[in-house]
Amino acid sequence: MNVSVSPKAAAVRADVTAAVVQATQRIRFDDIPARTIATTKRVLLDTLAVAWAAADAAGVNAARALALRGAPGHASLWGEGETRREPSAAAFYNGTLAAALDFDSLAGFVHADIIVAPAALAVAEQQRRNGRELLAALTLGNELVVRLAAATRTNRGFFHTSIAGVFGAALAAARLRGLDADRTHNALGIALCHAGGTQQSHVEQRLTKRLQSAFAARDGIISADLAALGTTGPRAAFEGPFGLFALFEEGRPEEVLDGLGRRFLMEETALKRFPACGCSHAALAAALEIVARHGITGEDVARGEIVLTPYMARLVGGAFAPEANPQVTGQFNVRYGVAAVLARGGFGLADIEPAAVLDPAIRPLVDRLSVRVDESRTGTFAPADVTIETHDGRRLSHRVEAVPGSPEAPLGEDEIHAKLVAAFGYGRNELPPARIEALVQRIHRLEGVDDVSILFDQVL
């Protein structure tokens, strides 16, 4: 079955939201290409792993306490054993975990799966859906988030991940609840009334950065729940005069329909190599290359310069002031990240621990690095240049044009597996290798699982 919307028809279509609903209602698991399902599984595993590693991250305890106030239910709190709550509470907690370490996947410039996966898994567990149904809902929810973001033309400072993400969560939740087209349409309209997110949390390096996606996961479920109970929402959620694109960012909502059901943009989801904002990754990779080629350490560095695009500098080029929120600063300060690479030879989970960020030995090196903005560059995550001047007079430079993990420079299978092992084996919820492998195999065979509510049984 080939389900698609003609781009020519989409250009003159007034009701984009209705077209999205109708197209996604017709798509079944067997209509989705095998390579797309493989991407969904790979991204789901990545999301679970980075969430697992975040149990001790700043802000997680507050999210856990709030989730535990929720009513008992059938949705798992990841890493909390047999503890289960009603889906919206579980999705909020799990969404906080997934975002906390900034180690999660990127699809375009949004983090779709940290919203859609917590929402979809929670509802699938409650509804006792099978693996095929879960995979289809995950794929379509992620695809909607990516398409909404890709149709955007401006970036004035809204957090597109949570703004677009609430619609993906609502679509996935509505599908797993078995809602018909009319109620799914209402769920997307209700989600519009929840949509929000700002990059102010990023630039101030506040813990709310990791909560915005959790709000979207929770609110997507609530939107579907209200629609199931008969609540109506705006019908032109995307294209209306006060809809998504009119209110938040300029764009072409009809582009959301271009090839929908025929071409899956979420196939290009990038898995992160480093636990930091994606705007730092090209610079981190450049610094690693300099270290590998020339064998320098932090003690060799007299001064250094990092050249970023304006967008990258806005998110990671600010002052190094880690005292209030050291972990968030470690994730969102490119000078710290490059300094960590130079001083420690890499950048991993241990480097965003508060003790590492606050290490007095790293501060002088951070201060010897500067950021320069190249206004002629328009990239979101690349390119980046790093130039190091050593005490013995050498000038060492490297430019990275493609972010590690992106479709242009994908991680190898060994790198992906190493990341899973490192993340599942990190923190207070550390899993032994045998259980990690059991979970990996279960996700790889997810279409054969008859009841998702037992997905984690005897594994986690």
pLDDT band at 202 (very low <50, low <70, confident <90, very high): confident
Residue 104 lies in a domain: yes
Q: What is the pLDDT of residue 460?
A: 60
Do 77 and 36 lie in a common domain? yes
Residue 288 lies in a domain: yes
Do 79 and 175 lie in a common domain? yes
Do 168 and 243 lie in a common domain? yes
Residue 406 lies in a domain: no
Q: What would you report as the CA-atom Rg of the chain, rounded to the nearest whole angstrom?
A: 22
Residue 254 lies in a domain: yes
Determine the 3-state secondary structure of 172 from DSSP.
helix
- Answer for the pair 4, 26: CB distance below 8 angstroms, yes or no: no
Do 124 and 207 lie in a common domain? yes
**Domain containing residue 69:** 7-272+439-454
Q: What is the pLDDT of residue 10?
A: 38
Residue 318 lies in a domain: yes
- Answer for the pair 273, 117: CB distance below 8 angstroms, yes or no: no
396 DSSP β-pair partners: 388
Do 315 and 446 lie in a common domain? no
Do 285 and 396 lie in a common domain? yes
Cα separation, 347 vs 334, in Å, equals 11
Do 17 and 120 lie in a common domain? yes
Nearest to 262 by CA among 31, 424, 76, 92: 31
Q: Give the CATH number of the domain where residue 264 resides.
A: 1.10.4100.10
Q: What percent of the chain has pLDDT over 90?
A: 83
Do 295 and 218 lie in a common domain? no
Mean pLDDT estimate for the chain = 93
**pLDDT at residue 7 is higher than 50:** no
Do 124 and 244 lie in a common domain? yes
Do 230 and 297 lie in a common domain? no
pLDDT band at 8 (very low <50, low <70, confident <90, very high): very low
pLDDT, tens digit, for every residue of 213-229? 999 999 999 999 999 99
Number of domains in the chain: 2
Please indicate whether residue 137 or residue 152 has the higher confidence score (pLDDT).
137
